[in-house]
Amino acid sequence: MRKLSAFVVAGTMAMSLAACGSSTTETTAATTAAATTAAETTSEESASAQETTAAETEAPADLSGSISMVGSTSMEKFANSLSEAFMEKYPDVTVTAEFVGSGAGVEAVSNGTADIGNASRNLTDDEKANGVVENIVAIDGIAVVVDPANTVEDLTKDQLAQIYSGQITNWSDVGGSDSPIVVVGRESGSGTRSAFEELLGLEDQCKYSNELDSTGAVMAKVASTPGAIGYVSLDVLDDTVKAVKLEGAEPTEENIKAGTYILSRPFVMATKGEISEQNELVQALFDYIYSPEGEELVKSVGLITVE
């Protein structure tokens, strides 16, 4: 309508000029100038409207409130980074996270004491039957680590299984020095332990010298104990321990994606019911996780994005 009015004004100006004895050329010029001005005005208004629409689309929703997560200690680094990034994006939202093990996390979301239960393993059939939904947010590798002085570089799947089942007790049996193997693992209920034992077919068969209650404790114990072996989340690896190859493959993202590294597991953020059934804060958190920005966060903490 604005554009039509502008052309009407232009036509009126042209008629007035003609009545005063203006030449045809002057009349045409006036008409063209008026039309050009109208077109420019319309274009500017359109651009302004597009900018306003874009700004409205990019602006964050007016979210406020709190989200509670409980669960896996292996997911601590990821969960903390996620919480910080999400609260920075939405300053009026508070995200809290407790790290008490995968089993406790699933139980918390099941009984309604937490919004999200973090589990570093797949959910069991019983858990799913209780209405808990498995939302995989990342893939993690499980690294097998030894103390830095250990000369063993590579283990087969069978050798690793025999070490943890107590059939192999000395490093000399797998190409190392003549020294006893100190078998370190996680406590019962740990998602890392459940995944590790399941992947090796050793559920409830492992013979542990030490059962520790966190990923950090396993790292510290292996690093300080000659002859020790343990398993930890891939994203916490540092130079205090040595990661051994399994079946000739190093624990890397590339090898996990290619299927050549045998120990990997999902990071699950479980909910009671589907994501679409959660409150708007929890839905917004999952939207963030599965966005390009969230995928970059997953990569930044050493995990593998879900394809």
Q: How confident is the model at residue 255 (pLDDT cuts 50, 70, 90)?
A: very high
Which amino acid, one-letter code, is at 249?
A
If asked whether residues 15 and 87 sit together in one domain, one would say no
Q: Where in the sequence is the domain holding 192, given as residue range(s)?
A: 140-264
CATH number at residue 96: 3.40.190.10
pTM value is 0.68
If asked whether residues 122 and 176 sit together in one domain, one would say no
Mean pLDDT of all residues belonging to the chain:
84
Segment 23-59, tens digit of pLDDT:
334 444 444 444 444 444 444 444 444 443 333 334 3
Which amino acid, one-letter code, is at 264?
S
At residue 61, the pLDDT reads 57
Confirm whether 306 is domain-assigned: no
If asked whether residues 124 and 77 sit together in one domain, one would say yes
Give CA angle at 255 (223, 225), nearest 5°.
Answer: 10
